[in-house]
């Protein structure tokens, strides 16, 4: 195994970059590492200054080239029972254990380990590195970097997002829209329940409406995806304060995982129309201060890249596999694709291990990733 990969992964795992935490210590480590090779970096901070995206270029300036993209944040370990330290590298039976080994610091370590190879020879096009924050909470952080790409005269033509795919090339995934609905009713003593407006009861009506809309979504099928249709589900619901009080407030969160070419705005519009035209008039007959509001939480577009494109065929050569497929989870790839950068997904490890206790990536998978990056480097050679 490449000792540089192991050492870099060991360093990256020691930074607790759970999405609720800052990633600046990790970003500073990567900045200094790249600076040791004479590579300049740009940072795009969040509004608090506690997190940042990193963007760098290797090779000549100009339009075109390839971008290697990965996120620096990881999911929490709270409540999980780990046999190995979560924020340290443990090697056992051909695997590296630790939070983020698969999702996706293993890929970041491989990319950083490959930097000397890209530096050692003249490249005929630029290689970009794009490392983001807050991917795990809805692909939120990368958007400032995407806006930079849209406005830049020097934009990569192709992007490989290194999410864990078992080093198999992926050309598509679904998009996601997450929303919160807040129902404000009117409280009173439960003995006089008809005088109040039960926020939970009206939230339940909205949830039932969502079930109907979800069934309608399933009518559009695409066998390239699993499940083969857009899905809609309510994930959380909370409301009320005591059994003998008609609940004044209730809120629930729902998400739509939609096919790349489907329109989900109509689903939200229909739900809002039902709330405004059917439910609110009933509620306001008893209390004028009743309300139903909707708040977007997060969302990202789907990805659907032509697996017969030149880029796809090149990636198949670089990674040594033409077994293109789609994945159920989302990535930042759809945002890059919308910005005009053709995007595919291919990285070491499996999402079967991601987000779980004792997350791991096999050494063999990391070796396969280095193989892909070496092939990419040879292809980019001037």
Residues carrying an active site annotation: 73, 135
Altogether, the residues listed in the chain come to a count of: 382
The owner of tokens 């679904």 is 174
Which phi and psi angles does 197 have, rounded to 5°?
Answer: -125, 110
Looking at residue 186, the DSSP 8-state letter turns out to be B
Question: How far is it between the farthest Cα atoms of the chain?
Answer: 81
Report CA 219 to chain centroid distance, whole Å: 26
Which phi and psi angles does 130 have, rounded to 5°?
Answer: -130, 110
Q: Tell me the C-alpha distance between 207 and 186, whole Å.
A: 19
Q: Tell me the C-alpha distance between 37 and 60, whole Å.
A: 15
Closest CA to 352 of 329, 370, 333, 330: 329
- Dihedral of the alpha carbons of 353, 369, 309, 174, in degrees to the nearest 10: 20
Burial (CB count within 10 angstroms: exposed 0-12, middle 13-18, buried 19+), residue 174: buried
Using alpha carbons, list the distances in angstroms from residue 250 to 4, 182, 233, 244.
Answer: 52, 6, 17, 16
Using alpha carbons, list the distances in angstroms from residue 144 to 57, 94, 131, 339.
Answer: 17, 38, 12, 12
Q: Tell me the C-alpha distance between 337 and 146, whole Å.
A: 10
| Residue 249: strand, helix, or coil | strand
């Amino acid at each position: 195994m490449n000792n540089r990969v192991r050492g870099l992964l060991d360093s990256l795992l020691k930074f607790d970059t759970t999405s609720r935490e800052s990633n600046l210590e990790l970003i500073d480590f990567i900045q200094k590492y790249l600076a040791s090779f004479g590579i300049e970096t740009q940072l795009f901070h969040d509004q608090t200054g506690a997190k940042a995206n990193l963007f760098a270029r290797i090779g000549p300036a100009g339009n075109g080239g390839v971008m290697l993209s990965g996120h620096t944040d990881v999911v929490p370990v709270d409540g999980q029972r780990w046999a190995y330290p979560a924020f340290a590298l443990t090697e056992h039976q051909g695997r590296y254990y630790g939070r983020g080994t698969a999702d996706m610091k293993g890929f970041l370590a491989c990319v950083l380990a490959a930097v000397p190879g890209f530096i050692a020879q003249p490249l005929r096009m630029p290689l970009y590195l794009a490392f983001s924050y807050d991917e795990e909470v809805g692909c939120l952080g990368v958007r400032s970097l995407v806006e930079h790409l849209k406005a830049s005269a020097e934009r990569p033509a192709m992007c490989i997002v290194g999410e864990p795919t078992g080093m198999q090339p992926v050309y598509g995934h679904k998009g996601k829209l997450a929303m919160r609905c807040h129902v404000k009713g009117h409280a009173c003593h439960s003995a006089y329940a008809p005088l109040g407006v039960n926020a939970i009861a009206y939230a339940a009506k909205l949830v039932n409406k969502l079930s109907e809309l979800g069934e309608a979504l399933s009518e559009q099928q695409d066998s390239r995806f699993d499940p083969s249709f857009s899905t809609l589900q309510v994930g959380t619901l909370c409301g009320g304060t005591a059994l003998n009080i008609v609940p004044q407030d209730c809120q629930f969160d729902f998400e739509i995982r939609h096919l790349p070419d489907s329109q989900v705005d109509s689903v939200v519009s229909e739900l809002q129309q039902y709330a405004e035209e059917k439910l609110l008039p009933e509620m306001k007959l008893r209390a004028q201060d009743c309300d139903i509001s909707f708040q977007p939480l997060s969302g990202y577009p789907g990805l659907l890249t032509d697996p017969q494109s030149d880029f796809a065929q090149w990636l198949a050569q670089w990674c040594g596999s033409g077994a293109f497929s789609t994945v159920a989870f989302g990535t930042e790839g759809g945002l890059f694709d919308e910005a005009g950068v053709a995007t595919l997904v291919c990285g070491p490890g499996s999402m079967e291990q991601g987000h779980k206790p004792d997350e791991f990536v096999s050494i063999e998978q990391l070796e396969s990733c280095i193989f892909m990056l070496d092939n990419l480097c040879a292809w980019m050679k001037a």
